[in-house]
Amino acid sequence: MIRVEAVSKHFGRPVLRGVDLTVPKGCLYGLIGPGAAGKSVLLKLLAGLEQPDSGRIQIDGQELGQLTELELQDFRKRIGMLFQNNALFDFMTVADNIAFPLRRLFQLAESEIAARVEERLRVVSLPGFGARLPAGLSGGQKKRVGVARATVSGAPIVLYDEPAAGLDPVTSQKIFDLLRAEQRAAGATVIMVSSDLDRLLTVTDRVGMMLGGRLIFDGTTEEARASTDPYVHQFVHGIPEGPL
């Protein structure tokens, strides 16, 4: 279970303002909201890449703020993350990009790493792409490589930041369907930030909406669709005029 309690973060200005959030184990949670609402910053806090200025983050009973640097490094083995811009290394092959977290965080034989990479490439429908460089891939293929890297370690918690950004609707739906299938197969707890609400809401169990650094809504996907809160209603249903 992921539990966020009264978390605030400043970068010269308030970015997160007393956020409270609970994500049950095995849930696929969609985090929505307009730009600069604090969604990506919250993901970085959950991954242990940033520390909150105040408040607490507990993941499976561990309070991140109380971990030593060595303990934090061990904790990161349990987190998979897809960054908003994919964050693929241009100078590395697809296979080396996917293998990067395994080589950095785990002590595994190269034969096992190669086997895991090949298995992930098959799962994301990119068999035989291991020797290619990211520059030769389409946008959708880069996203799939990012998904393969985020899931290659079998982490019980996976964070996705805009997994379908810049993709056409058909490719976007394929990515979301892939992420949902992966989540179900692994039983992972997933938090997904996306602006593609039409497709995001086809795969989520629960949804949270952030606005101005605060979590203003938390509920099931059905509750989000039916919400009468003016901000949530406008954002979920894509109404151009309203309070946002």
pLDDT digit string, tens, across residues 119-154: 999 999 999 999 999 999 998 899 999 999 999 999
Specify the fold of 2-236.
Rossmann fold (3.40.50)
pLDDT of residue 141: 93
pLDDT of residue 83: 86
Taking the C-alpha atoms of residue 146 and residue 240, their distance in angstroms, rounded to an integer, is 32
pTM of the model: 0.91
Query: pLDDT, tens digit, for every residue of 26-73?
Result: 999 999 999 889 999 999 999 999 999 999 999 988 899 899 988 988
Number of residues assigned to the chain = 244
Give tens-digit pLDDT for 74-113: 898 899 999 887 789 999 999 999 999 999 989 999 999 9
Dist. CA 161–CA 36, nearest whole Å: 13
Q: What is the pLDDT of residue 208?
A: 97
Mean residue pLDDT of the chain comes to: 93
